[in-house]
Amino acid sequence: AQSVAQPEDQVNVAEGNPLTVKCTYSVSGNPYLFWYVQYPNRGLQFLLKYITGDNLVKGSYGFEAEFNKSQTSFHLKKPSALVSDSALYFCAVRDANRDDKIIFGKGTRLHILP
């Protein structure tokens, strides 16, 4: 069965610094990978996806993620953090060769310090 690990419960970054939120996954087939964000007291919003193609994918709000097949990772990055990026971030995976389950990680809370 597919699984997702987000090893950090919380990440603190100073405003203006680059940020990375880590995600590793396990699937038996080809992965479809996603990042979602949840702002306080709001719903979940899609940020970006990797289905196929370039390993570096760009998404909303200046975020990007790099698919690394050998390390089974899909880390979320942003070159310069904003205070408004503070939120809960979820990585998700679907095993394209197995079934249509979409499994989420436990989430990483990102705090951007002014």
Partner 1 sequence: NAGVTQTPKFRVLKTGQSMTLLCAQDMNHEYMYWYRQDPGMGLRLIHYSVGEGTTAKGEVPDGYNVSRLKKQNFLLGLESAAPSQTSVYFCASSYWEGVLYFGPGTRLTVT
Q: How far is the CB of 76 from partner 1 (least distance, A)?
A: 15
Other C-beta atoms lying within 10 Å of the C-beta of residue 94: 22
Backbone φ/ψ region at 51: left (φ over 0), alpha (ψ -120 to 50), beta: alpha
Is the Cβ of residue 34 or residue 63 nearer to partner 1 in the bound state?
Answer: 34
- Least distance in angstroms from the C-beta of 99 to partner 1: 7
Residue with smaller CB distance to partner 1, 54 or 114 = 54
The strand pairing partners of 108, in sequence order, are 89
- Interacting residues with partner 1 (CB under 8 A): 6, 9, 32, 34, 36, 43-46, 49, 51, 90, 92, 94, 99-107
Give residue 81's identity as a one-letter amino acid code: A
